[in-house]
Amino acid sequence: MNEHDWLGERFAEHQDRLHAVAYKMLRSPSDADDAVQEAWLRVSRADHSQVENPAGWLTTVVARVCLNMLEARRARREEPAGALPPEPATPQASISPSGPADPQDEAQLADSVGVALMVVLDTLTPAERLAFVLHDVFDVSFAEIGTVIDRTPAAARQLASRARRRVQGAAAASDAARSRKRDVIAAFLAASRNGDFTALLALLDPDAVTGDVRGAEAVAAFFSGRAQAARLALVDGVPAAVYAYRGMPKAVFTFTLDHGKISCIAVDADPDRLRDLDIVFLSTGNRV
C-alpha cells in the first residue's frame, strides 16, 4: 500500500468523527462538508511521515479549517440562516478518541451541552468555541487544542472553562426560556410587529407604563407597528427583547409582569451597561 492509499484509508476511517467535529463547530451541514473537504485537500498535500496519531492529527487539521471559517464568518458578522437543522446522527461512541463512551456519560453530555450548546454557541468567540467543543465534546487534550489556536495549554483550558460557564448558564436558563414570561414577550413582539392593537391591549395591565407613556391603551398605541427589529432573548438569563444592529446590541427591553399581564416596559440603550449584559438570542425569537 502506498502512502496516499494509507492516508485515504485513515481519512475514511475517521471521516464521521471529523464531520461531527466540523458540525459542532460550524452548526451547518453544508459548512461541515466544506470543512472536511478542505481538510482532505490539506492533509493530502502535507507531510504525514511523522504522524503517530492519525485521529488526533486529522482532528487538528479540521479544527484549524473550522477556526478559519468561524473567524471569517465573524468578520462578516454572518449569522447562520434559517432554523437550526437536525444534528447528524453520529454515535458519540464512534467519535471518542479514547474509545467507546459510557452510556451514562453520553446521557449527561447530551443533557449538558445539547440544546444549551446550540443556543449559546454563536455567542462564543471562535477560540472559545473550539476549545470547548474539542475538549468537552470530543475529549481532545488542552495541549493539542493549544497548538490549533496558538495558545498555551493553560490558556486553552481557560477558554474552555469560560465557554463551559456560558453553556451551563444557558442550560440553567432553559426553564426561563420556556416560561410564561417568554411566551408573553414573544406574543407582544408579534403583535407590535403586526400593528395588532387589540392583541397588544390584551397583553397589557390596565395601568401599564413605558417611559412617560401610561395606561394600557397609550402603551399599546405607542408600540403598535413598532419593534420591527427587536428579537426575543435571554438577558442575564431572563426573557426580554433586544434590538441589535450588525450583531451589536443597541437597546434592551425588559418587561415586568403582574398576574400574567405586562405592567412595565423599560428600555435601556446605555452602551456601557449593554456591554456588561449576558445576551443570548433565542432560536424561536425570529427577527420581528
Q: Per residue in 196-229, pLDDT tens?
A: 999 999 999 999 999 999 999 999 999 999 878 8
Q: Per residue in 140-196, pLDDT tens?
A: 999 999 989 999 999 999 999 988 887 777 666 555 555 788 899 999 999 999 999
Angle in degrees, 0-180, between the axes of helices 103-113 and 153-172, rounded to the nearest 10: 70
Q: Which CATH architecture has domain 176-281?
A: Roll (3.10)
pLDDT for 280 equals 82
Q: Which of 96, 98, 134, 97 is nearest to 113 (CA)?
A: 134
Q: d(Cα 269, Cα 250) in Å, to the nearest integer?
A: 6
Q: Which of 106, 104, 97 is nearest to 140 (CA)?
A: 97
Q: d(Cα 130, Cα 143) in Å, to the nearest integer?
A: 13
From-to residues of CATH 3.10.450.50 in the chain: 176-281
pLDDT for 45 equals 85
Q: d(Cα 27, Cα 120) in Å, to the nearest integer?
A: 12
Q: Per residue in 37-88, pLDDT tens?
A: 999 999 888 877 777 788 888 988 999 999 999 888 877 654 443 333 343 4
pTM of this prediction exceeds 0.85? no
| Arithmetic mean of pLDDT over the chain | 79
pLDDT for 168 equals 74
